[in-house]
Amino acid sequence: MNACRPDAERFQIIFDNLDDVMRVLGALTGKPEIERHEVSLEALHGYVERLKTSTTEEIVRGFLTRYRATNE
């Protein structure tokens, strides 16, 4: 996987290919676990604005940056 290689994130952000995606999705079992997170109205508006002005790649890169910052 290329998840840790910033230079390889374009169109291969988490998986190398569709076969890898299908393999991981096919291995998921059981009931999904859903976590509740409080979201402020300001954060929601910011998210909606980013959707309007950003490409999908920019949105995913932003998510990865925030995710990595909170999970290191």
- pLDDT digits 0-9 by tens, 36-55: 888 899 999 988 888 888 88
Please report whether residue 33 resides in a domain. Answer: no
**Measuring CA to CA, how many Å separate 41 from each of 16, 44, 48, 50, 59?**
36, 5, 11, 14, 19
Q: Does an H or E element contain 26, and which?
A: helix 18-27
Residues of the chain with pLDDT under 70: 1-15, 72
Please report whether residue 32 resides in a domain. Answer: no
At a CB cut-off of 8 Å and minimum separation 6, what does 1 contact? 14, 15, 16, 20
**Residue ranges making up the domain that contains 57:** 6-27+40-70
Please report whether residue 19 resides in a domain. Answer: yes
Looking at the 3D structure of the chain, how many domains does it have? 1
Predicted local confidence at residue 42, as pLDDT: 94
Please report whether residue 48 resides in a domain. Answer: yes
Predicted local confidence at residue 8, as pLDDT: 47
Please report whether residue 54 resides in a domain. Answer: yes
